[in-house]
Amino acid sequence: MTNSDYQAILDAIHRDLKPYIGQGRVADYIPELATVRPDHFGMAIVTVDGQVYRTGDADVRFSIQSISKLFACTLAFQLLGDALWQRVGREPSGTAFNSLVQLEFEAGKPRNPFINAGALVVTDVLCRRFVQAETALVDFMRRLSGEPGIGYDLRVAQSELAHAERNRAMAHFIASFGNLEMPADAVIDAYCRQCAISMSCVELARSALFLANGGVSPASGEHVLDASSAKRLSALMLTCGTYDAAGDFVYRVGLPAKSGVGGGIVAVLPGEYAVCVWSPGLDATGNSLAGVQSLEMLTTISGRSIF
């Protein structure tokens, strides 16, 4: 694939995707997210050799929401290595991202780090290590993206904190099994702020690029993870990164990915690129409707996926 092909492919996707843009439902269980216009669409590809291709609203910042779970998990994996898996599993959950039911059967050990329960345990790891977990994560995102202006949106964080009953229930429930080391309310506070980080498609694609580049961030030169750990994290994205639709997503797209209810999806093609798409209208499984469609078009038109 030559580089100019990627720009032509993005242009074609944007043109052909028009009927899908604005479809789906913008997440409204966090009231501040419901204020986002549904007709945004942006997409960016950043290649391991540093080329950037973009279309539409690729430079507009949006709420990264669950995409933050990927980067928080990276930091926790850096800190604990395989010991992380004693506290959180590596299996798809088969239940909604915010479900409580499995936790009781499985004694407070969440199925994976990309559902809310698992992300809360991951955030607990960061809260234990850093004075402010969300600040550590924001700093990490600034380094990976090369953008010092990245931060979290206080209004989104407050909106989420004001409506965090389910996440609070989950954190306290996990704590009751002894799987939180820090106070549950402190973990919730950090978790809601990390979900409220605002970034653009270009910034997110650049940040995820270490996964496509053997664990090394091309932007900062930082050795984020060793190559084997980068492979393992990508494998988790493949099986658990797109809510309860991971099977269908990988059937359609064929790339490891992590989505968020803000309408973003970040995906990687190892050795080649990271891509991020944003369109706020969600499908019934909580993934960006136009986002999944556009990624399917990308791997179909380019003929390149992990398979």
Binding residues for substrate: 66, 116, 160, 167, 191, 243, 261
With 0-12 / 13-18 / 19 or more C-beta atoms within 10 angstroms meaning exposed / middle / buried, residue 125 is buried
The residue from 66, 145, 217, 294 that is catalytic is 66
Neighbours of 49 (CB within 10 A): 10
Beta-carbon contacts of 286 under 8 Å, excluding residues fewer than 6 positions away, are 27, 97, 243, 245, 259, 261
Our finding on whether 215 is near ligand GLU (CB under 6 A) is no
Our finding on whether 288 is near ligand GLU (CB under 6 A) is no
| 231 in active site | no
The residue from 20, 53, 152, 243 that is catalytic is 243
Our finding on whether 97 is near ligand GLU (CB under 6 A) is yes
C-alpha span between 237 and 256 (Å, rounded): 5
Write the single-letter amino acid at 118: G
Our finding on whether 167 is near ligand GLU (CB under 6 A) is yes
Our finding on whether 159 is near ligand GLU (CB under 6 A) is no
Our finding on whether 66 is near ligand GLU (CB under 6 A) is yes
| 258 in active site | no
Our finding on whether 6 is near ligand GLU (CB under 6 A) is no
Total chain residues near ligand GLU (CB under 6 A): 10
Our finding on whether 65 is near ligand GLU (CB under 6 A) is yes
C-alpha span between 297 and 279 (Å, rounded): 15
- Tell me which residues in 191-210 interact with ligand GLU (CB under 6 A): 195
Among residues 98, 99, 102, 300, the one that binds ligand GLU under rule CB under 6 A: 98
Question: Which x/- pattern over 110-149 shows residues binding ligand GLU (rule: CB under 6 A)?
Answer: ------x---------------------------------
DSSP string, 67-121: HHHHHHHHHHHHHHGGGGGGTS--S--SS-TT--HHHHHTTT--S-TTSHHHHHH
| 243 in active site | yes
| 29 in active site | no
- Six-digit token string for 286: 């909580």
Question: Which x/- pattern over 245-274 shows residues binding ligand GLU (rule: CB under 6 A)?
Answer: ---------------xx-------------
| 109 in active site | no
Known binding-site residue numbers: 66, 116, 160, 167, 191, 243, 261
Please report how close the Cβ of residue 118 comes to ligand GLU at its closest, in angstroms.
12
Strand partners, 144: none
C-alpha span between 193 and 130 (Å, rounded): 14
DSSP string, 120-175: HHHHHHHHHHSSSHHHHHHHHHHHHHT-TT-EE-HHHHHHHHHT-HHHHHHHHHHH
DSSP letter (8 states) at residue 182: S
Our finding on whether 93 is near ligand GLU (CB under 6 A) is no
- Six-digit token string for 75: 């930091």
Please report how close the Cβ of residue 23 comes to ligand GLU at its closest, in angstroms.
19
Please report how close the Cβ of residue 261 comes to ligand GLU at its closest, in angstroms.
4
Q: Which residues bind ligand GLU (CB under 6 A)?
A: 65-66, 97-98, 116, 160, 167, 195, 260-261
Residues serving a catalytic function are 66, 69, 191, 243, 261
